[in-house]
Structure 1
Amino acid sequence: MSDIQIRDVSVGYGATPVLDDINLTVRGGSTTAVLGGSGSGKTTLLRVIAGFLRPSRGEVVVDGRVVAGPGVWVSPEKRGIGYVRQEGGLFPHLSVAGNIAFGLPWPRRRHRERVLELLDLVDLPAALADRHPDQLSGGQQQRVALARALAPGPDLVLLDEPFSSLDTALRASTREATSRALRTAGATAILVTHDQGEALSFADEVAILRGGAFRQIAPPRVIYGEPVDALVAAFLGDAVLVPGTADTGAVRCALGRLPVRGFVAHGEVEVMLRPEQIVLTDPGQGMVDAVVRSLAYFGHDAVVELDVETGVSADGAQHGVRARVAGLAPPSPGQRVGLSVVGPVRVYPRADVSHLS
């Protein structure tokens, strides 16, 4: 189990900066998900770690060994790093066994044993060993790609959006199999993704990468429940933002007087809560009443857009909020409901969120 450290790394393409003085530590045997949108620098970070791209400054340290830094450069094949690409990158002319065993430093007589061991590790039957990639499903191909990356026993496995091309059901099962395989192998892993749910469910820590810098690095429950700022809150899942006035330990807004998580300064703030914190009841039974404006139905749940009746501002506009409810019997547009908030909320200075509106 190898710790990975990224220390003050900057890199760009020509005159265009991509990563700016970033720092990241991944504990040995753990998985960190780097979450960011297109162009945020996710794949560039993996290329720097793998040795495909030289940083302009800073260090990359794998298991206490500097592999990139001032005056130091270790070639990719000598870094002990496995790499799983978005499309798997399997060799079409080789069998599954040939792909997994490719690059193994061991004697060939041991290859078959290692191949069967790895197929079992990634939940694939031994009968697939002699098939070729075009005879496999997309999920099976990604598991073979993972087995190939794990075959030499690397210090680190890099996963470059490996599930994004799969359909929903296959993506979930392949992700679960990958997570089990990494943990069973005791591998340290970095996953880059633009999928918030994938990052939260897969990793021990999530690092939000925006504009070439990390905005927050924390365990999934912390980063979802306690985002460091409104930008992270809005980026990582659905966020409901309403204006309010804060005092010690609480905030008053269109939804009522609510407890606040963390330190609260007095004054005008923006209140952040998640749609699942809003509970719908019969009219008059909640903290405030609201009218259902619209409904987006997803089967297992539904997102309800609501106009809060007590949230009318000075210009006559109503405050709209979103609630996530079970999909069995959601309310109908035009229906009047009661509304309550479960749990504490987060607040941010009003100026920090004005650009999000």
Structure 2
Amino acid sequence: MSELKILGVSAGYGRETVLEDVDLTVAEGTTTAVLGGSGSGKTTLLRAVAGFLRPGSGTITVGGRTVAGPGTWVPPERRGVGYVRQDGALFPHLSVAGNIAFGLPWPRRRHHDRVLELLDLVGLPAAIAERHPAQLSGGQQQRVALARALAPRPGLILLDEPFSSLDTALRTATREATAQALRAAGATTILVTHDQGEALSFADEVAILQAGRFRQVDSPRTVYREPVDAEVAEFLGDALLIAGSAADGSVTCRLGTLPAHGYPAGDVDVMIRPEQLTLTRPGAGGLDAVVRDIAYFGHDAVVELDPAGDESRDPLRSRVLGVDAPALGELVGVSVVGRVRTYPRVLD
């Protein structure tokens, strides 16, 4: 498989610029999730890499070969790039085997073995090879689409929100099967998604794309625990932002004096993830609070808390195991686990 390098790429449609001078490197054999909301430029980026859209400026290389750049343009069919769309886009008139083998450059006598190899790779039984797409579940169709993209051994695989149309349980199973297949194939992969949990769990690296620019590119753990600013922090998941004063590697706020990293000193906004707030017995935490509301999800629960004796303050949110959820109106202590992230104070 191949390393992907995007350098100084700007692209758009007509006079509308969607991507502005973006850089991104996807190391060989790794997966990068490009995470962004609607209109952020995710699909435009994939279209430029695949060759469906010519960038206005910059260069794109796949495996050291320039496929787009000043004076250079390689058409999509010659880039060695596999593309899996959201709907799979299988040919309804072809069997599973026919879909997977479609476009293989090898003699037909070699197709059968390659089809069986790929079905095994994506976790599907050989018995479905003669079925047609209408006879498959949504998850099976997406796995067949992945097998088709992998069939000619492309240098790069592009996944365009391939799980978004599936129900929750099927999405999880299909995502796990896809990740295993890509790892087994040693594929270099870009996944574009608007689902934070999907990006964090699927990829080796997460690239946050907002308004046509990358805001942060790092490991899933780093972008979640150490987002570059409060806006990215809130985009990546539930985040509490409270006022504090930082000095000497700690910050003092209404939850006490906490170990911190980020902005080193002065007035700051303190970012705390709800799962960092643990509930204890009253008097044993940094402060006491009353349980105002509970959103119960079975495996966990989000508990909304009013600081005891001061209802004028913004409520806090704690994420706890479902079995540990307190009762409405209960008085609890609140403590913070781990280091918190600080940012320069933003005044309204």
TM-score (norm 1): 0.96
- Map of 1:317 onto structure 2: 312
Residue pairs, 1:138-177, within 5 angstroms: 138-177=138-177
Match of 1:328 among 320, 323, 327: 323
**Residue 204 in structure 1 maps to residue 175 in structure 2:** no
Aligned amino acid, residue 301 of structure 2:
A
Verify the 8 A CA contact 1:249 1:263 in the aligned structure 2: no
- Map of 1:337 onto structure 2: 332
1:168-210 deviation per Cα after TM superposition (whole angstroms, max 9, x unaligned): 1110110111011111111100000000010001000000000
Aligned amino acid, residue 159 of structure 1:
L
Q: Secondary structure at the match of 1:328?
A: helix
Verify the 8 A CA contact 2:278 2:336 in the aligned structure 1: yes
Aligned amino acid, residue 331 of structure 1:
P
Measured after TM superposition, the shift of residue 246 of structure 1 is 1.3
Q: Identity over the aligned pairs, expressed in percent?
A: 70
1:303-352 deviation per Cα after TM superposition (whole angstroms, max 9, x unaligned): 01112237x5xxx721321100111141122211000000010001112x
**Residue 40 in structure 1 maps to residue 35 in structure 2:** no
Q: Give the Cα–Cα distance (whole angstroms) in 2 for the partners of residues 14 and 55 of structure 1.
A: 11
Verify the 8 A CA contact 1:161 1:193 in the aligned structure 2: yes
**Residue 278 in structure 1 maps to residue 273 in structure 2:** no
Give every structure 1 segment of 4 or more consecutive aligned residues whose post-TM-superposition deviation is greater than 2 Å: none
- Map of 2:219 onto structure 1: 219
Measured after TM superposition, the shift of residue 16 of structure 1 is 1.4
Residue pairs, 1:244-255, within 5 angstroms: 244-255=244-255
Measured after TM superposition, the shift of residue 141 of structure 1 is 0.1
Q: Secondary structure at the match of 1:331?
A: coil
- Map of 1:259 onto structure 2: 259
Measured after TM superposition, the shift of residue 291 of structure 1 is 1.1
Residue pairs, 1:22-101, within 5 angstroms: 22-101=22-101
Verify the 8 A CA contact 2:59 2:70 in the aligned structure 1: yes
Q: Give the Cα–Cα distance (whole angstroms) in 2 for the partners of residues 334 and 18 of structure 1.
A: 49
Q: Give the Cα–Cα distance (whole angstroms) in 2 for the partners of residues 237 and 27 of structure 1.
A: 26
Aligned amino acid, residue 201 of structure 1:
S
**Which runs of 5 or more structure 2 residues have no equivalent in the other structure?**
none
Q: Give the Cα–Cα distance (whole angstroms) in 2 for the partners of residues 34 and 144 of structure 1.
A: 23
Q: Give the Cα–Cα distance (whole angstroms) in 1 for the partners of residues 243 and 181 of structure 2.
A: 46
Verify the 8 A CA contact 1:255 1:308 in the aligned structure 2: no
Measured after TM superposition, the shift of residue 38 of structure 1 is 0.6
Verify the 8 A CA contact 1:254 1:319 in the aligned structure 2: no
Q: Give the Cα–Cα distance (whole angstroms) in 2 for the partners of residues 195 and 322 of structure 1.
A: 21
- Map of 1:293 onto structure 2: 292
- Map of 1:349 onto structure 2: 344
1:135-188 deviation per Cα after TM superposition (whole angstroms, max 9, x unaligned): 000000000000000000000000000000001111011011101111111110
1:64-100 deviation per Cα after TM superposition (whole angstroms, max 9, x unaligned): 1110011100000000000000000000000000000
Q: Give the Cα–Cα distance (whole angstroms) in 1 for the partners of residues 238 and 324 of structure 2.
A: 22
Measured after TM superposition, the shift of residue 263 of structure 1 is 4.9
Q: Considering only aligned residues, what root-mean-square deviation do their CA atoms show, in Å? A: 1.1
Verify the 8 A CA contact 1:4 1:61 in the aligned structure 2: yes
Measured after TM superposition, the shift of residue 262 of structure 1 is 3.9
Measured after TM superposition, the shift of residue 292 of structure 1 is 1.1
Verify the 8 A CA contact 2:59 2:66 in the aligned structure 1: yes
Aligned amino acid, residue 344 of structure 1:
R
Number of residue pairs matched by the alignment: 348
| More displaced stretch, 31-40 vs 327-336 | 327-336
Measured after TM superposition, the shift of residue 218 of structure 1 is 0.2
